[in-house]
Structure 1
């Protein structure tokens, strides 16, 4: 699990890196808000469409080699984004990185479920790696691009190389992770998939995703506007947003052990409503406190979404992982062009106001859900 978690961190650097690159695209290439949000959309769109397909494929046939290969693909796309001269080529580069991220997650979640024996606490540690990757991305991008400009972006490929090595070593240490016992496969085949509950859960995750991706895409620019500070202030706010996930994800597993997964998820969505309101409306340095609270509200339920989804669809854990950790998360990028267009027409604050209501909508979707029956966690894979 430590190797898988570190590999996850290296791959998810490239989810956080795209949003962190937005201010530099605006500064160096003079993109509008709408054009900059299109960069985030390109990274999210193919990932949104392709990720469940990879999940369906790995449900039929495990493909552990996807882990190191997809890590390299994700890094290559983002590293090339700073070298491309035209807007279309930049979109293509980040889309390539998005495909790498899409290919990685469903199979990685399946392998992590095997390694953790289906524990939501173990899945929390795996998710922690991804959150640390998100948190590191703004700092990495600032260190590389702020000093060398977008032309220094090939240096951003270093985490991909490290991640590929870590994934390969983890797969070898796990000793044939694709193999599950016949009894476990029989149990999963006999279990009933609860698609209605899974759909409600996925809808809530979409609401969370729009808030998270929307803030991630524009928070650095917004903080600079609200505080009057330079690029470092924006990068610091993104760091707070992403790093809070490291604490929130681990806390989510522990809280779920004590209080149950669904109560913890519902409380988290309730907390996120006033926290996002603070981010959008509170002026000055106090905004950072609201960012930290928003991070907690968004991240505490993160790994719990994955295990709940897999338990609602025990016969399709790859598909469940592809949707809860992939489609429903990355689909938030589809909303960023709308936010960017509204910001260009009015103001960035006006464009971010609707994000306050989305966690409340997600909470309403979660209210009727019941804790899923857990078939055979020990052999789940």
Structure 2
């Protein structure tokens, strides 16, 4: 009896490598925000100018990520994983040495494009490797959260010691991530010969209405997360009277709490379902953000942690829900849920920065309280989708698709 290549044992190593590679890539999403305080202190950028760097990394990413998703719906492009990792790292690594503001914006945009190219293909490969398990998919998302969490520590350790001109050292995670991606793809391709009959073709109907509601909620979440990422370090320094360390710790807590929330989200969904967990997380996040804005002193860190967990409990669930609402366009779903709707939050950061310049950071962050509540309203009435047979690998009368399906075959 042939060995099932989609067995849990055969999934562990590729998923582990993909998760670690995801961590290396998402360092560069977190690194852009982590560089903001240093741009303010070393280059005397205003809040609006500094947030413009975050916008540059987000703007092109938000536009091109669905494009990459649509392309991966037609052609498997596993080579995008290592190449995009290197591009994302190179943009951030060189941003600190570019003398002009325009060059800094351009390099941040290059990094954003690299991150955009990575996620749709990586999400599709990871979903195959996860075999339909929400918990397994949450571990893949956890890798990205850990990358976010490591970003402020890495940036602070490098730039606080050597200044912005030491930023080329930030390329090291990209080199490691590219190597991990290559190793993961080899592990994913290995079982292909045993199940060459697999097609990786999704079965089901696309539910665009539900996907649209989900996407609107993710936009609300994105604005909150990007806004806090860009300004929480400066805000905590003001509110607590601490130095750079206090701001770095706050940003680290914001990202690390997401790691806990992501794993919890997968576990909660396995017990109560994805849609109820996502709905409750948005409702509770609104209260946590209010705490960030108004609670003084050391308790502010607790509110930051609760906000982070609330924002990230639904993170991996967004991806799998999107893929299951659009079972025939998995790459597009990944490009939107991991790309357009997430990156579009960066569009709001200059507005927050401009309002902070005109008033105070606290006033500028206060509108973020309403967004999770709006997201919860958009999710009202959302139904749990069926999981496509191509994900679960249980198509009647056929051999279960291998982990390589959708990676080595062209899809129609």
TM more than 0.5: yes
Corresponding residue for residue 84 of structure 1: 98
TM-aligned CA distance change 1:257 to 1:141, over 3 Å: same
Q: Deviations over 1:296-350 (max 9, x none)?
A: 1000000000000000000000000111111111110000010011111111111
Kept in 1, the 8 Å contact 2:214–2:379? The answer is yes
Q: 1:150 aligns with which of 164, 173, 185?
A: 164
> Any unmatched runs of 5+ in structure 2?
1-14, 394-400, 407-412
1:182 Cα shift? 5.9
Kept in 2, the 8 Å contact 1:214–1:332? The answer is yes
Kept in 2, the 8 Å contact 1:135–1:241? The answer is yes
> Any unmatched runs of 5+ in structure 1?
none
1:246 Cα shift? 1.1
1:269-280 equivalences in 2 (<5 Å): 269-280=282-293
Q: 2:150 aligns with which of 133, 136, 142?
A: 136
Alignment partner of 1:229: what SS? coil
1:36 matched to 2:41? The reply is no
Corresponding residue for residue 289 of structure 1: 302
Q: 2:318 aligns with which of 296, 302, 305?
A: 305
1:15 matched to 2:29? The reply is yes
C-alpha separation between the residues in 2 aligned to 1:131 and 1:185? 28
C-alpha separation between the residues in 1 aligned to 2:378 and 2:192? 34
1:87-126 equivalences in 2 (<5 Å): 87-126=101-140
Corresponding residue for residue 230 of structure 2: 217
C-alpha separation between the residues in 2 aligned to 1:302 and 1:242? 13
Corresponding residue for residue 17 of structure 2: 3
TM-aligned CA distance change 1:276 to 1:178, over 3 Å: farther
1:373 matched to 2:379? The reply is no
How many residues align structurally? 379
Alignment partner of 1:63: what SS? coil
C-alpha separation between the residues in 1 aligned to 2:144 and 2:387? 25
C-alpha separation between the residues in 2 aligned to 1:88 and 1:194? 42
Corresponding residue for residue 25 of structure 1: 39
1:181 Cα shift? 6.7
Q: 1:246 aligns with which of 252, 259, 279?
A: 259
1:118 Cα shift? 2.5
TM-score (normalizing by structure 2): 0.90
Q: Deviations over 1:112-131 (max 9, x none)?
A: 01111122211100000000
Corresponding residue for residue 231 of structure 1: 244
1:344 matched to 2:344? The reply is no
Kept in 1, the 8 Å contact 2:137–2:316? The answer is yes
Alignment partner of 2:392: what SS? coil
C-alpha separation between the residues in 2 aligned to 1:31 and 1:72? 28
1:375 Cα shift? 2.1
Q: Deviations over 1:7-29 (max 9, x none)?
A: 00000000000000000000000
C-alpha separation between the residues in 2 aligned to 1:289 and 1:5? 27
Alignment partner of 1:335: what SS? helix
TM-aligned CA distance change 1:196 to 1:181, over 3 Å: farther
C-alpha separation between the residues in 2 aligned to 1:333 and 1:340? 11
Kept in 2, the 8 Å contact 1:223–1:237? The answer is yes
Kept in 2, the 8 Å contact 1:265–1:301? The answer is yes
- Of Structure 1 and Structure 2, the greater helix share is in 1
C-alpha separation between the residues in 2 aligned to 1:271 and 1:125? 23
Alpha carbon RMSD of aligned pairs, Å? 1.4
1:191 matched to 2:204? The reply is yes
C-alpha separation between the residues in 2 aligned to 1:320 and 1:123? 15
1:359 matched to 2:372? The reply is yes
1:69 matched to 2:78? The reply is no
Kept in 1, the 8 Å contact 2:134–2:267? The answer is no
Corresponding residue for residue 169 of structure 1: 183
1:264 matched to 2:277? The reply is yes
Corresponding residue for residue 409 of structure 2: none
